Amino acid sequence: MTTSDQVSPGQTLAVDVDAIPPVELGPGVHVRALPGMPGIRTWVIDLAPGAEWPDLDVHETYGEAYFVVRGEIVEGDRTHGPGSYVAFGPKTSHRPRTRTGVRAFGFNYDVAG
């Protein structure tokens, strides 16, 4: 599966997230690209305990959002646990990290809303 995979009109698709090979972006940071809709990239990230996103994640034109499935993500001085939904608008940046390890499901919005 690649990031260009999209769900076609009239199609229903179910995937086993753990069967998708992860891409390691940095030490303890793994991303799995999921099939999405036009203009929306979907993904799952897994950060090992103590891991930090490799670089500042900048959202210059469009936004990003994620939902914490398990563990905790730390953004600046705020900790977001399971069930938290965190959204970043255009002109924002962040560098998530975790003490406990985390799995989050997210979206990058690549078109203007």
Return the closest-CA partner of residue 61 out of 92, 87, 101, 32.
Answer: 92
**CA 79, CA 59: separation in Å to the nearest integer?**
20
Q: Kindly state whether residue 34 falls inside one of the protein's structural domains.
A: yes
Q: Could you tell me if residue 81 is inside a domain?
A: yes
Q: Which of 10-14, 75-79, 87-91 has the highest mean pLDDT?
A: 75-79
- Mean pLDDT, rounded, of the chain: 89
pLDDT the model gives residue 20: 95
> Does a structural domain hold residue 33?
yes
| Domain around 85 | 17-109
Residue 105 within any structural domain of the chain: yes
- Does some domain include residue 28? yes
**CATH number for the domain including 38?**
2.60.120.10
Cβ-based neighbour number of residue 57 at 10 Å: 14
Domain presence at residue 12 = no
The phi and psi torsions of 103 (rounded to 5 degrees) equal -125, 130
Q: Is residue 96 part of a domain?
A: yes
pLDDT digits (tens, 9 = 90+) for 53-73: 998 788 877 889 999 999 999
**Domains of the chain: total:** 1
- Please give the average per-residue pLDDT across 84-91, as a whole number: 92
Q: How confident is the model at residue 2 (pLDDT cuts 50, 70, 90)?
A: very low
